[in-house]
Amino acid sequence: MVGYYYGCGSVFLRQIFLAVMVELSQEIKHLSKTLYEDVVAYRRHLHQNPELSFQEYETSVYIKKQLQLLGIPCEEVAVTGVVGVIEGKKQGLHKTIVLRADIDALPIKEENETTFVSQTEGVMHACGHDFHTANLLGVARILQQLTYAFSGKVLLLFQPAEERVPGGAKAVIASGILEKLGGTVSAVLGLHVSPRLDTGQIGLCAGRFMASADEFYLKINGSGGHAAEPNRAVDPIMVAAQLLTTLQQVVSRKANPLMPSVLTFGKIIGNGAANVIPDYVWLEGTFRTMDEAWREQALKYVEEIVDSTVKVLGATAELEIKHGYPMLINDIPLSRYFKTLMINHFGTAHFEDVPQWMAAEDFAYYSHKYPSVFFLVGIKNEQQRTQYGLHNAKFDLDEQAFLTSMQATTVACINFLEELNG
């Protein structure tokens, strides 16, 4: 059989394939509903026991325990990460697909009042990674019952440290474990909850989807003094003000207007007083864009502008640029196929072509190495609760979204394998 992604076989074979897929979709819907309560329990356990990036030791133990209960072999990666392996029993070419979920939490004190509020002081799953992890455990259980329906391997990647540069994805790729367990990786599939989409919706942006993200840490050294005698000082606050204005020209005058670019400084400390000019000012900021060549050039412009502006005003600067994640690229042919699958399974009303998003994700590293699709799952139900944004201390989600996420992930996984192995 030659499938949708790589071509079309005979009409008769295609009709048989579609009939089988329709029946399989119904089975996936049934299994997701059967497992729903268990998956909610996974999520609530994880939510109560969050761990920060590179510290997800108990989370890792919990994941391995659940996989072992399912009889799914697994190995550790990047210290706290876990990779499980499910092998299809159908005849085929045995391609490999990776399903990725991130497992870390954020340094945020939770302000919700649920029965499963975080039990770890100052740490919270405020970005939905508890949902992502629980979803993948649910998908693992569904796939375990459907191994007759696909050939090839599915690698269940529970990845640590998405929230903290350099990110866990980089370590996973460098370890070589995906190739070790699965050979050549044909596709990587990941998801993220979206508080902007209603529960039951799937969102996707083909091609460039999420931005690169680099961080600036800048100290401007002046010479403090009395506010009444600025001529006897080098005022780092005024230098910082001039510099912030000048740096915006990187976006407004250097960038191609058609290329999304964001330069934002979110922290500035000039610890003087009403009558005191401080010795230094501290600034922190970020630069984001959707083009790797422009990203490199923009960072050079920032360095040049900082050096020249500070120097001409008589101050000095200490600039650190912390390079973050690259932009995330959704493979266009796979994205088109994914969209077709979602519309066939859920209906047109439940799929949305979403715009580019200037947030960053270390899933981007996979997208630069393998054909990848990173999609959004709606979690907003305003009738149930006020929906707060990601990284908010009151962030929560509609757990009914698990029915959508489990089905979407499983449908895409099996169909991708069948097309690739067909």
Q: How far apart are CA 72 and CA 66, in angstroms?
A: 9
- The token pair that represents 98 in the structure block: 């990776």
11-211+326-421 under CATH 1.10.3720.10, yes or no: no
Residue with tokens 């920032």: 302
pTM of the shown model: 0.93
Catalytic residue among 51, 56, 162, 235: 162
Percent of the chain with pLDDT over 70: 95
- The token pair that represents 406 in the structure block: 């489990």
The pLDDT tens digits of the residues spanning 166-182 come to 999 999 999 999 999 99
- The token pair that represents 421 in the structure block: 């192995």
Closest CA relative to residue 224, chosen from 318, 315, 319: 315
Q: Residue 93 — very low, low, confident or very high, per pLDDT cuts 50/70/90?
A: confident
Q: How far apart are CA 210 and CA 298, in angstroms?
A: 18
Write down the CATH number for the domain with range 214-323.
3.30.70.360
**DSSP-based three-state secondary structure for 290:** coil
Query: DSSP assignment, residue 105?
Result: B
Report yes or no: 70 and 130 within 8 Å, Cβ to Cβ: no
Active site residue 279: no
Report yes or no: 371 and 185 within 8 Å, Cβ to Cβ: no
The pLDDT tens digits of the residues spanning 193-231 come to 999 999 999 999 999 999 999 999 999 999 999 999 999
**DSSP-based three-state secondary structure for 410:** helix
Q: How far apart are CA 73 and CA 126, in angstroms?
A: 30
Query: Which regions of 143-184 does DSSP assign to beta strands (E)?
Result: 153-159
Domain ranges of the chain: 11-211+326-421, 214-323
Q: How far apart are CA 79 and CA 402, in angstroms?
A: 28
Instruction: Work out the angle between the directed axes of helices 11-48 and 129-145 (0-180°, nearest 10).
Output: 130
Beta strands 185-198 and 372-380 are: parallel
What is each CA distance from 97 to 39, 150, 226, 259, in whole angstroms? 22, 11, 65, 32
Catalytic residue among 51, 56, 102, 104: 104
State yes or no: pLDDT of 141 exceeds 80: yes
As a whole number, the mean pLDDT across the chain is: 95
